[in-house]
Amino acid sequence: MEQDLQILQEIQEWDKEIYALAQVLEEIPAELSDVNQQVENERSKLKKLQDELKTFQLKQKEKEVELNSKEDNIRKYETQLAQVKTNKEYSSLQGEIKSLKADNSLLEETIINFLDQVEAVQKKIEDQKKNVEVSELELKKKKEELEQSSKQVREKIDQLTGKKKEKIKNVKPEIAILYEQIITKKKGLALVQVEGEVCPACQMQLRPQVLDEAKMRDRITLCDNCSRILYSV
């Protein structure tokens, strides 16, 4: 029994490392997801700017069409000026022309304003495209780093697992089975060393009989609360 406990203490150190490495593997998808989300955020900003650009360009086009229409009307009225026969008709056409020209002046200002907005958004789009490129490069780099890290961690886990399989053959089968059951449930901590009167793992008070059995080390002693294997030096 003494030898079994000593072997299990050594094996447990490997198991602790195995479970710590497994935790690293579990966290990798979350790390990758964070970087992916950053890329998606940058792409979303770009899409929003591109939509904004289309809106300004559409409004600009609408105003240009309206301006062209009014210009056509001005030319039509100016042609009619030479054909009217009364001062009233002449004054009426001049009034229409004046009104259209005033409208066109405002339209031209609006179009210029849209042109400025289009130019400004186009500049933002170019800058944002660079941001997207940078974030995509960071994502690619992160993927490569995580893939390499994952490979190294898995290799280390395989190495430790191989050593454990060989070592645990030296432990009595029934004790080895019990250890594996506990280590799986307790995520890498199956054995604890008792130094006082409480279980170091769960902090529960231990019965005197349990403390005595742990000190004797001639049988497997379990904590009544957390079911871990107890031993004392």
Residues 151 and 178 in one domain: no
| Average per-residue pLDDT for the chain | 94
> Tens digit of pLDDT for each residue in 14-50?
999 999 999 999 999 999 999 999 999 999 999 999 9
Same domain, 44 and 132: yes
Give the C-alpha distances (Å, rounded to integers) separating 34 from 30, 40, 41, 45.
6, 10, 11, 17
Residue 82 lies in a domain: yes
175 and 164 in a single domain? The answer is no
Say if residue 233's pLDDT is above 80. Answer: no
What distance in Å separates the CA atoms of residue 166 and residue 231, rounded to the nearest whole number?
Answer: 23
Residue 98 shares a structural domain with residue 38: yes
120 in Cβ contact with 53 (< 8 Å): no
Span 77-95, average pLDDT: 91
Count other Cβ atoms within 10 Å, centred on residue 49: 19
Same domain for 156 and 178: no
| 125: three-class secondary structure by DSSP | helix
pTM (two decimals): 0.69
Give the model's pLDDT for residue 218.
Answer: 83
Q: Based on the structure, what is the number of domains in the chain?
A: 2
> Does a structural domain hold residue 78?
yes
Q: Once rounded to an integer, what is the mean pLDDT over residues 49-70?
A: 96
Which range of residues forms the domain containing residue 54? Answer: 11-169
Task: Classify burial at 42, counting beta carbons within 10 Å of its beta carbon; exposed 0-12, middle 13-18, buried 19 or more.
Answer: buried
Q: Are residues 106 and 15 in the same domain?
A: yes
Tokens of 104: 């066109």
Asked if residue 182 and residue 165 are part of one domain, the reply reads no
Residues 137 and 192 in one domain: no
For residues 123 and 142, membership in a common domain is answered with yes
Given 151, 169, 187, the domain boundary residue is 169
149 plus 101 within the same structural domain: yes
Judgement on whether residues 95 and 198 belong to the same structural domain of the protein: no
Type of residue found at 160 = L
Structure tokens at 65: 């069409």
Residue 4 domain-assigned (yes or no): no
Q: The domain that contains 43 carries what CATH number?
A: 1.10.287.1490
The verdict on residue 220 lying in a domain is: yes
Cβ within 8 Å of residue 42, ≥6 positions away: 128, 131, 132, 135
Instruction: Report yes or no on 3 lying in a domain.
Output: no
- Asked whether residue 164 falls in the same domain as residue 57, the answer is yes
Is the pLDDT at 228 greater than 90, yes or no?
A: yes
